[in-house]
Amino acid sequence: MFLLANFVNWRCFPTQSRSLRQYQSGKGSLRPTNGHKKVNKMINKYDDGSAPQIKKGGLYSFQPIPAQQVLGKAGEYQAQKLLLCLTSFLGKGSNCVYPSYTTIARSCGMSRNSISAALTVLFEYGFIRIHKFRDGKKSRSKYYIQDACWNTSMMNEIARKQRVPIAVCIDCGVVMDRGGFGISPLGKIHYGCGGSVIFLETKNRA
């Protein structure tokens, strides 16, 4: 029965069979039987500069990219994964989340010991604050996601060591990365003191 089925397939679809054999042997690629090569064109819906719109029923949360970069460079991958998990619980107009250890473990596949260690890292880097409270007989925690997760100028010294400084403030002498200054009609301005900022390569040339 098996040989008969293969013979029927080969007789009825000889072109497809040959193409399939060539594809499996690495000597060809699958093509439609009409002989025309299929072209898959990727279309960018946002070529006009517009941003993706979250439609009704969709979910959206702000992902802390600067904090993720810091934790990744420091090799704190469990803390990186936990921060991504915590921010997924953020609601509108609040920086506080309070998932239980069980919920976190189910969401990102971490053990209780790994969660505890990762929370310590996030606290030391200044990315979260932890508030303990009683829920009946149980002790639970609220996690306040800090602005330093998104703004590198607000990071503490531990986190800032993982950033690459590219500019310096002429007035106060603080070196910073791109998150430490903004662009104004007067030039680059330090968010900290309001002083003028120049790139480090410019200062070195001078």
Domains belonging to the chain, first-starting first, are 1-29 (no CATH), 65-149 (1.10.10.10), 164-205 (no CATH)
Give the pairing of strands 128-135 and 138-145.
antiparallel
- As beta bridge partners, residue 143 has 97, 130
Sequence-ordered list of residues with C-beta below 8 angstroms from that of 24, at least 6 positions apart, any chain: none
Residue 4 DSSP SS3: helix
- What does the pLDDT read at residue 5? 46
Tokens representing 202? 């410019």
- What does the pLDDT read at residue 201? 79
Q: Which residues of 39-63 are buried (b: 16+ CB within 10 A; e: fewer)?
A: eeeeeeeeeeeeeeeeeeeeeeeee
Band of residue 94 on the pLDDT scale cut at 50, 70, 90: confident
In contact, 149 and 141? CB cutoff 8 Å = no
- Highest mean pLDDT among 38-42, 140-144, 187-191 belongs to 140-144
- As beta bridge partners, residue 142 has 131
In contact, 133 and 101? CB cutoff 8 Å = no
In contact, 196 and 188? CB cutoff 8 Å = yes
- In this predicted model, what pLDDT tens digit does every residue of 66-88 receive, in sequence order? 999 999 999 999 999 999 999 99
The larger pLDDT score, comparing residue 60 to residue 8, is at 60
Reported pTM: 0.64
- Highest mean pLDDT among 42-56, 72-86, 185-199 belongs to 72-86
- What does the pLDDT read at residue 117? 97
